[in-house]
Amino acid sequence: MSSLPTPENPLRIGTRASPLAMAQAHMAMAALIASHGLATEALEIVPMTATGDRIQDRALAEVGGKALWTRELDAALDAGDIDIAVHSLKDVETLRDARFHLGAMLERADPRDRLVVREGLEAASIADLPAGARLGTSSPRRAAQVRRLRPDIGTMLLRGNVATRLAKVAGGEVDATLLAAAGLDRLGMHHVGAVQDAALLLPAASQGAIGIECRDDDAAVRALLQAVDHAPTHGAVAAERAFLAALGGDCRSPVAAHAQWLDGGILRLDAEIYSDDGADHAAGHVLVHGPGDAEALAERLLGEASETVRRLFQR
């Protein structure tokens, strides 16, 4: 694209076809329209079904990991069928193909988790759940954190989009689940579930952040995206992703990382790594002045962790 998009030559926005992904694509579209004074007709949303959306009966770690969320969008972007791809950054591999450029992050939403319980069960936190409760999740992080807090709680695989998971809770397949507050809010479900304390359930790296990628060699689109990039979010999420990259973990590795800006423009990164059952873990924080600080935190936690944790992050 050699100039600003027009109705005759629209900017094609690739996204997964799930309701949440579509809502996020519309957020990206609105940001671009507002920043560049574009006509709505100058942008076109191109939805597609990701492999991860089609596989509902297995944990993604068993069948390809996070690439199952990005494979179709990557292929379309590389082929020139779309100009940008909008992602939930939590679902994007830490190490990306050099052909793609993460040109913008929208302002981050609430990065915390919310606890949703079945009808008839009153619980505002993991501590409130009854003994032996069944909690559904597909996240190794959430499973390990819950098991660490409440070893008596059983964790079960729960896959699907937000509506599917909520329906399974409502149907009694599980007693409770944990969902990202940001996703619920973006779907208009502001009052669904109880927000969990981030000090007890440290969020996943990139949770609540929307990323927009383009082809690395597309200078015009890179310039378009730069105008909608939220620098504080980009800086915080970059630190979290640098930690993950240094850690060498994958989607099967229970890890949490959250960076937040303190007064005075100081960025603090908190992180935790766990064994599968949550019984062992290592936790720490660092003040981030550059990528090396996040990497140093990863090395420190690996050095402090037990073998049951370290083996999950072998590089």
AA letter at 213? E
Q: Which of 53, 83, 91, 218 is catalytic?
A: 91
Is 91 annotated in the active site? Answer: yes
Cα torsion through 136, 137, 138, 140, rounded to 10: -120
Query: What contacts 63, CB < 8 A, 6 or more positions away?
Result: 55
DSSP label at residue 41 = G
For the chain, the straight-line distance linking the first and the last C-alpha, in angstroms and rounded, comes to 39
DSSP label at residue 95 = S
User: How far apart are the C-alpha atoms of 225 and 228, rounded to whole Å?
Assistant: 5
By the 8 A CB rule, do 153 and 147 touch?
yes
CA angle 247, 251, 255 (to 5 degrees): 50
Cα torsion through 290, 295, 296, 300, rounded to 10: 150
Strands (E), 118-252: 134-136, 154-156, 176-180, 194-195, 210-215
Q: Which residues are known to be catalytic? A: 91
